Chains A and B, each alone.
Chain A
Amino acid sequence: MIHPATAIHPATADFGPAPQLAFDGLLVGSFYAMLAVSFGIIFSTTRTFHFAHALTFTVGAYAGVVAAEAGLPFWSAVLLGALAAAFFGVASDLLVYRPLRRRQAKQLNIFLASLGFLIAGEAVVQYVFGPNSRPLPSVPVTGVQFGSLATSSLQILIAVVSWLFVLLVAAFLRWSKYGLAIRGVESNAVLADAFGVSRTLIFVLVFFIGSFLAGAGGVLFAARDTATPGMGLEPLLAAFIAVFIGGIGSIAGAAVGGLVLGFAESLGAIVLPGYLTNIVAFVILFLVLVVRPRGLLAPRTT
């Protein structure tokens, strides 16, 4: 049987399509890594299962599309999309989650509120922008060749920007005063409160950072693909699977989880027909949850 993947990627002498698929996996995994960090920093600090993070992604993408359609250069569109998403994320924390937390709502109720918010938000996006896909205009894309490996300049750019953001967030958490405060709230929120670290402020901060990354991701995704009202769901699922694979509370874990997911989805095409590759992510998640429930790189807590 000739596998579809072999037809798409011309076989190299010894390894067949594997090197190209691994390379594709690296590129898409890098994007997942950034999305996982964006979801992970919010979830591990606030313990809010922020399903509407998918909506933040979409809002960022459409803001970027609108900016680009208005004639702004690509990088300004990315920045504007990211900022719009950041403010949107902060607003969703203050207006949706904060009132629920005040009433000491259960995790499930917060999750349901988030899900409802996502569905309503997608409907609003569809109402305002229409159901059709909206491309990001005038993105320069050229083909790039590394030996036998082929990709596009945009894919490389997305991967580089993704790692840049992941490293920036990691450095911020590791070395800055507020990064330490975020890790403190994550470790022991009551104690952080007792030492004068305002939980409200820290929550706003992580929603801003996580949503900024998601928004940038949304614009980049729209540049590679197009913007649609329902575009956020699949990236969100990838992000949260990556977070659970890597381990909650670990930036490195989220990034590694994203990479694992990217490789698995891509290399899964060697043994599975294309329409089944989505299953690979869930199989890996299942295996990790069975063998190592805390995730691959979760912080050890005694």
Chain B
Amino acid sequence: MPAIDPILDIAGLHTGYGSREAVFDVSLSVGEGEVVTLVGHNGAGKTTTLKAAMGLLAVWAGEIRFLDRRITNSSSAANVRRGLCMLLEDDFVFRDLTVAENLQLAAFTTASDRAAEIRRDVFELLPVLADRRGQRAGTMSGGERRMLSVGMALMSEARMLLLDEPSLGLAPVLVEQVMGLIEQLVAERGLSVLMVEQNVDQALRIADRAYVLRAGRIVVEEDASALRQRSQWWDLF
């Protein structure tokens, strides 16, 4: 268990698609300012767990609490207002909209004067977005789009990020950049992160703790450093 109070607490989650259950009795928690990663094979239920937490997928049983309030099955709109933000695995930006419009839309639930303030801040943190503000997001490179998606998360005034495969499809140098940015946000702004990653090495490098999911069930919970030191951690999968 985290030493600090959990900001997100998932208890006994059951969910799935249609009539097919994909996640069985998953319990996990993320502390304030903590980076937790969820690793496992394709189809282990990682993304499904994130979606249920965000309100993008119905919870069949179990409870989800965020900032000490029960948010089980509340709408994603309500969760965004509470400070939860999920960056999707693919299609994580609005490709037909410009960079500026992407940021503006990400601030849909934020007051407009506050949004202008955060936008200046985002442009300072990610100057590439300021340079490209008039460009259509669909014409940017994968790495730039990832940066944009992080900028969008900030625009929504998120206190906690649910990241689905933030390194997917990126060149190694860009993966470093994205992970570095996430680390920076955690250190400087106290954001909390629950991250699903195939790139286990990278994920364990910046994570405090890790959960291993197998076939919809959590099989291991461990400190990231301890997990990293296992010589054969991949056997756990």
Contacts and interface: CB of A to CB of B under 8 A. Distances in A.
Contacts of A192: 94, 105
B130 interface: no
A196 B97 contact: no
Interface centre among B81, B97, B104 (most CB of A within 10 A): B97
Contact of A301 (B54, B96, B109): B96
Contacts of A197: 77, 105, 108
A301 B95 CA distance: 7
Given A196-B80, A196-B108, A301-B138, A191 B88 contact: yes
A132 interface: no
Sorted nearest first, the 6 A-B pairs with minimum C-beta distance are A196-B80, A196-B77, A187-B96, A196-B109, A187-B94, A302-B138
Given A177-B108, A181-B105, 7 more contacts: A177-B112, A187-B96, A188-B91, A191-B93, A192-B94, A194-B85, A196-B76
Contact of B91 (A180, A183, A184, A190): A190
A191 B77 contact: no
B95 A195 contact: no
A148 B79 CA distance: 64
Given A187-B96, A188-B94, A181 B108 contact: yes
Contact of A187 (B79, B97, B106, B109): B97
Contacts, number: 76
Contact of A184 (B81, B94, B138, B139): B94
Given A181-B108, A186-B96, A187-B95, A195 B80 contact: yes
Contact of A191 (B81, B91, B104, B109): B91
A172 to B, nearest CB: 15
A198 interface: yes
B75 interface: yes
10 contacts: A183-B97, A184-B94, A188-B95, A194-B88, A195-B106, A195-B108, A195-B156, A197-B77, A302-B95, A302-B139
B99 to A, nearest CB: 13
Contacts of B147: none
A299 interface: yes
A177 B105 CA distance: 8
A300 B139 CA distance: 10
B22 interface: no
Contacts of A191: 88, 91-94
Nearest to B107: A195
A190 B101 contact: no
Contacts of A186: 96
A49 to B, nearest CB: 21
B86 interface: yes
A171 to B, nearest CB: 15
B101 A180 contact: yes
B91 A195 contact: no
Nearest to A194: B86
Contacts of A69: none
B56 interface: yes
A190 B81 CA distance: 17
